[in-house]
A and B are shown apart, each in its own frame.
Chain A
Amino acid sequence: KNQVEQSPQSLIILEGKNCTLQCNYTVSPFSNLRWYKQDTGRGPVSLTIMTFSENTKSNGRYTATLDADTKQSSLHITASQLSDSASYICVVSAMDSSYKLIFGSGTRLLVRP
C-alpha cells in the first residue's frame, strides 16, 4: 500500500535554530516527492519538488534531500524564523497516476522567540 510517514508529529524550536523533518515513503513506482508548507488557516504551498534523479533541492533557507534507495527524504530549515511556524507536509506521487498525490500527516513546527 502506498504510504507516506512523517516524523516528528510536532516540534518546538527556538528562533534562529536549525531543524530537520523526516519523511519515509513506500510509494511505488516513484515519480516525485514534494514538500509543502501549510500555515494555519491557509492552503498548502509548494516548497520543493524532487524527481528520482535529484538528491537535494534548496529554496532559500529550506533544503530538501531525497534518498530514493532507502525511500527517505528530509527537509532542513536553517536559521529558523517565527514565520516558519506551520505544518510541513511530505507528498509523493506515483508514476502510474501522478495527479493522485499521497500525503503525509505533516509535522507541526512551532518556532518560539
Chain B
Amino acid sequence: AQSVTQLDSQVPVFEEAPVELRCNYSSSVSVYLFWYVQYPNQGLQLLLKYLSGSTLVKGINGFEAEFNKSQTSFHLRKPSVHISDTAEYFCAVSSSGSARQLTFGSGTQLTVLP
C-alpha cells in the first residue's frame, strides 16, 4: 500500500518570496512521484514528475522538486512566487509501470499575497 502526507494544509506567502511545499510518502515498492496543481473549478495539471535518474526535477512555471529516498520526501519549491501561483497543490505517488493508479495527498493551498 502507498500513502502520501502533505504536511501543510495552507501556506500563505508574499509575492516574490520563495516557497516550499512539503510532501512525504510511504511505499514498499519503487514509485513514481508527481506534483499536480489545481486552480479553482478546474481539473488537475501536472507540474512535474520524478520517474528515475536525477533527483532534482524541474517542471513548468518555474517549479522544481527534489526526490530524497532516504527521507521518503518529494518537496516542491519555487524561488519567487507570483499572484498567479495561488492554487491547490497535490503530491501524488504511483507504483512504477505504465498508467498505474495515483495516490494523492490531501493537498496544500498556496495563497500568494500582494
> Do A and B assemble together?
no
Residues of A within 8 A of B (CB): none
